[in-house]
Structure 1
Amino acid sequence: MGRARQTFERRQLGLTLRRLRERAEHTQQAAADAIGRVRSRIVELEEGKGTLNQTDLKALLNFYEVQPDTLKTVLALGVKARRRQRNRPYIDQLPDSYLRFADLEASASEIRVFESGLVPGLLQSPEYMQAVIREGDGIWWDQLEGEPDDRISFRQDRQTRTWDTSTSRVFHFVIAEEALRSNVGGDPAVMRAQLRHILTLLTERDNLTIQVLPQNTPSNPVRGGGFSLFLFGDRALPVGVAHVVFGPEQYFDDPVDTAALDRAFTRLRDELALDGTKSAIAIRSILEGLPDPRWSNAPGPR
């Protein structure tokens, strides 16, 4: 293993190897012993500050008893990690990119998200989550038996992992009003449950801020788009992720790019979106205005 400058690719590799080691229930010392290295080398590797040659990386993965497909993917990630840092941005085209996104998300000390079209994944209720999966089933992925359940299970595990109260973490979401009024799943009960879920999260979590961006807001610099910005304190540079409906994840870790994303989020948070108190009132108003089949077939007042 060679000592290396921290890059996004090396951070991806390190977070992946940490997840695989923890899943295999091995300590860093045991991992180091398996490939004849000292523990500090495994620490550097998992922090994105080191690399492994293919022989040692394969030996480590075999020690973790990973499946052949995972072995192939991580070895390819290892090749990327040993190369000179790429030009921006980085597009993750390897299999299981959603796992690496979740690794990055769970390691952040602060998460900032803007979403224009749907409720962000970390805030989704079980009913909403299932409806979103059903809407994409057979379109963005093959309609395979059991797959929807696997996707829902992954999203729920991702929420549990990221909301882990043992880690100090700050969450800040700006959500466009359109996303809160969408007819996801074609059943008003889905959105009622989702809005109640958001209000419950706000009462339960002091480290969570949610702001609503009203419809027809002028001067929106992220109109029609969405992104996440992950901050890591003094451990690493920020990383931005562009949200896409279809295709590979696109990451930005160049300071020029993340500074632009930070400016956009600051504009939304400080100038355009409702503050936290008014946003909670707006969410309750939207909830009360949704059609309820028990008493009316028409939508209530705005």
Structure 2
Amino acid sequence: MAAGRQTVERRQLGLMLRRLRDRAGKTQQQAARAIGRDTARISQVETAKGSFGADELTALLDFYGVDEAERQTVLELGVQTRKRQRGRTYTDQLPHSFERLADLQADAKSIGFYESSIVPGLAQSPDYVRAVIATGDGVWWESSQDEVANRVAFRTELQRRVLEASEPKDISFVIAEGALDEIIGGISVLRGQILHLLQLGERPNVAVQVLPKTVQDNPLAGGGLITLDFDDSAPRIAFVPVLYGPSTYHDQEADTEPMFRAYDRAQGLALDQAATRALLIEKLKDVQ
């Protein structure tokens, strides 16, 4: 299949195949030989500039030793990438959609996070991560300590992949002040989370800003937004987090332009980093 536009589904497929290849300890050259293609073709698909047919994908998955659950997801993603037309958005309805969002975050060059009622996942302290995920146990999935442990480990690993990337990413957090008043896991957890934000804001590539309750005309009021910029390597993506249900991505400029603009507006309305630091220190004094 000829090279085409780097849609969300193509990016998800390529990044997932690269992750599976790395996990299997295989090189692009080995993968190419396994399916009778050249290395350039493996690279093309992994960088979202093409796709594979079902037989080629099956052969690759066999070579990587992929289990049935992941296999079905990859094959269905392959179907999505081969569709000639789709709507303006892409809705990921496949299992474990958070894993593919994580791949996109790890691949982005700059990321913006806005949240109105919770601290964004990448900015969460270890205790806050455990507390947030524990609140979903028995609600969003059948109660399972193994599931909780797996989700905590996954989020911790994502933080490492993004925050400790070999090529530092530009990361921006805009957090509505109300999110810092939500008690999740207890007062001590909230106190630790505020301390964590102060430490996070000291990183040269990370900006932490708080949007005060007194600010008027916030274009993102009541919602959440993640913006993903890949520089010139791929189209920008905007993602609106949901509590439950399918994940919808926007990758058409007609949609991403206003969504990135809304994020920029919220960022401009928020306290600058110095004023944010002062506010966080004041909140530490109030959280006893």
Smaller-chain TM-score bracket: over 0.9
Partner of 1:131: 131
Structure 1: 5+ residue runs without aligned partners? 292-302
Counterpart of 1:53 in structure 2: which amino acid?
G
Aligned with residue 240 of structure 1, among 214, 238, 241? 238
Whole-Å separation in 1 of the counterparts to 2:158 and 2:168: 16
Partner of 1:122: 122
* Residues 1:281 and 2:256 are matched in the alignment: no
Partner of 2:41: 41
* Residues 1:229 and 2:227 are matched in the alignment: yes
Whole-Å separation in 2 of the counterparts to 1:282 and 1:145: 36
Structure 1 residue 155, shift from structure 2 partner: 0.4
* Residues 1:201 and 2:200 are matched in the alignment: yes
Counterpart of 2:141 in structure 1: which amino acid?
W
Whether contact under 8 Å (1:32, 1:39) holds in the other structure is yes
Relative distance call for 1:42 and 1:269 in structure 2 (3 A) is same
Counterpart of 1:276 in structure 2: which amino acid?
Q
Counterpart of 1:99 in structure 2: which amino acid?
E
Whole-Å separation in 1 of the counterparts to 2:213 and 2:85: 40
Whole-Å separation in 2 of the counterparts to 1:5 and 1:194: 40
Whole-Å separation in 2 of the counterparts to 1:124 and 1:133: 11
SS in 1 for 2:201: helix
Relative distance call for 1:85 and 1:281 in structure 2 (3 A) is farther
SS in 2 for 1:51: coil
Whether contact under 8 Å (1:21, 1:64) holds in the other structure is yes
Partner of 1:192: 191
* Residues 1:74 and 2:74 are matched in the alignment: yes
Whether contact under 8 Å (2:6, 2:235) holds in the other structure is no
Whole-Å separation in 2 of the counterparts to 1:85 and 1:245: 28
Counterpart of 1:182 in structure 2: which amino acid?
E
Whole-Å separation in 1 of the counterparts to 2:213 and 2:3: 50
Structure 2: 5+ residue runs without aligned partners? none
% identity of equivalent residues: 45
TM-score by length of 2: 0.97
Counterpart of 1:77 in structure 2: which amino acid?
L
Structure 1 residue 2, shift from structure 2 partner: 4.0
Counterpart of 2:278 in structure 1: which amino acid?
I
SS in 2 for 1:49: coil
* Aligned ranges 1:1-302 → 2 under 5 Å: 1-185=1-185, 187-203=186-202, 205-270=203-268, 272-291=269-288
Counterpart of 2:201 in structure 1: which amino acid?
L
Counterpart of 1:68 in structure 2: which amino acid?
E
Whether contact under 8 Å (1:89, 1:250) holds in the other structure is yes
Deviations 1:89-131 (A, max 9, x none): 2110011211100000000000011111100000101100111
With a CA cutoff of 8 Å and minimum separation of 6, indicate the structure with the bigger relative contact order: 2
Counterpart of 1:146 in structure 2: which amino acid?
D
Whole-Å separation in 2 of the counterparts to 1:4 and 1:206: 36
Whether contact under 8 Å (1:184, 1:191) holds in the other structure is yes
Deviations 1:193-237 (A, max 9, x none): 11111111222x100001100013210111100110000001001
Whole-Å separation in 2 of the counterparts to 1:86 and 1:71: 23
Whole-Å separation in 2 of the counterparts to 1:163 and 1:5: 28
SS in 1 for 2:208: strand
Deviates more, 1:150-159 or 1:194-203: 194-203
Number of residues paired by the alignment?
A: 288
Structure 1 residue 4, shift from structure 2 partner: 3.0
TM-score by length of 1: 0.93
